[in-house]
Amino acid sequence: MVERNQPASGIRNKAVALEGRLRECRNVVTLGVKTNFSDYSEQEVQLIRGATRIYYPTDFYADLFDAIGKDTFPSYHTYKCVQDKIKQTALFELLGIPHPSTRVFYGNRQKKNITRFFQYPFVGKIPRGSAMGRGVFLIQNDEDLQRYLQGQHPAYIQKYLPHDRDMRIVVIGDRVVHAYWRINPPEDFRSNVAVGGRISLKALPEQALELAMHTARSSGWDDVGIDVCEYQGSYMVLEANMKYGKEGFQAAGIDYTAMMEKMIEDGKI
C-alpha cells in the first residue's frame, strides 16, 4: 500500500503492482488488492490509471484491465488458466501439445464410465484450485476411485506415466529463466517440493526446454512454471503452474527479487 505521506515524486517512476509478488522490488510500488475499487486512495487510483502496465493484478482485475485495454504482467491469458487443469488440458489438445491422455467426467452418470477409458493405475486430480501436489491421487483400485469421487468436483483423470522425476521449467517474459529436476521422495509418485521432492540442478535436455518455451508462447503465458516429464523417449507437459514456488531459485543461488527488478528495468516484462 502506498504510504499516505509519501510524495508522488517518490513513486512516479516505479512500476505499479497489486499482488505482493514484487513487494521486495525497489522499483515497484505495491498497492494491495481491493475488490472495492473505491477503497483505493486518490493517489493510488491515479497510479493505476496512469500506469502503462499493471503487475500481478490478480485474475479479478486482469479481466477488467483487459476490457479497458490496459496491459498487465502476467498476461490476461496467463490468468485465464491459473489453477484450472481443465482449461489447460483443453488448450494443450487444441494446440497439439504432447501431454498424458486426460479426460474430464461430469456428474455421476459420466463418472461411472471412468474405467471404460482408463485402466488402473491412473491419476485423479482436483481440477481447480489445487497446487503444490495437493489434490493429486494415484488411483490403483475401485476403493481408491470411490474415495476420490467423494469430492464434489468433476473427475479429472489422467493416464499414469511412471517416472521418478520430472522437470520444472520457469518461463518469465519470453525466455526460460530457470529450470531444474524435481526428484520424487521415496514411496511417492509426486515430485513436488512441497511433498518432499528433491531439487537437482543437473542440466535438462534441450528438447524439454524447447517444449516448455513452445507451450508458454503458444498459450500466451508469460509467467509460468511448466512441468515436463520424459516417458518412453518422449517429452510431455504434465501441467502449468502460475503460482510456482521460489525454492528452485533459492537452490540455484538465484536472487529472484534482483532478477525481477532487472527484467522490469530492461523492459523484459
For CA atoms 11, 14, 20, 25, give the dihedral sign: negative
DSSP code of 128? Answer: B
Max Cα–Cα distance, the chain, nearest Å: 66
Residue 48 has phi, psi (to 5 degrees) of: -65, -45
Q: On the CB side of 110, how many CA atoms lie within 13 Å of its CA?
A: 10
pLDDT value of position 13: 82
- The string of pLDDT tens digits covering residues 186-239 is 776 767 776 668 899 999 999 999 999 999 999 999 999 999 999 999 999 999
How far is the C-alpha of 51 from the C-alpha of 38, rounded, in Å?
A: 18
For CA atoms 64, 65, 66, 69, give the dihedral sign: positive
Beta carbons of 27 and 14 less than 8 angstroms apart: yes
How far is the C-alpha of 89 from the C-alpha of 105, rounded, in Å?
A: 13
pLDDT value of position 56: 98
Give ∠ CA 22-26-29 in degrees, rounded to 5.
60
Domains in the chain, start-ordered, CATH in brackets? Answer: 8-73 (no CATH), 101-159 (3.30.1490.20), 165-265 (3.30.470.20)
Grid cell for residue 2: 502506498
Could you give the dihedral angle defined by the CA atoms of residues 49, 52, 55 and 60, in that order, rounded to the nearest 10 degrees? 50
Could you give the dihedral angle defined by the CA atoms of residues 205, 181, 249 and 169, in that order, rounded to the nearest 10 degrees? 50
Supply the pTM of this predicted model: 0.89
Residue 4 CB neighbour total at 10 angstroms? 8
pLDDT value of position 86: 95
Q: In the predicted model, is pLDDT for residue 60 greater than 80?
A: yes
Helices 206-219 and 85-95 cross at an angle (nearest 10°) of 100
Average pLDDT of 136-146? 95
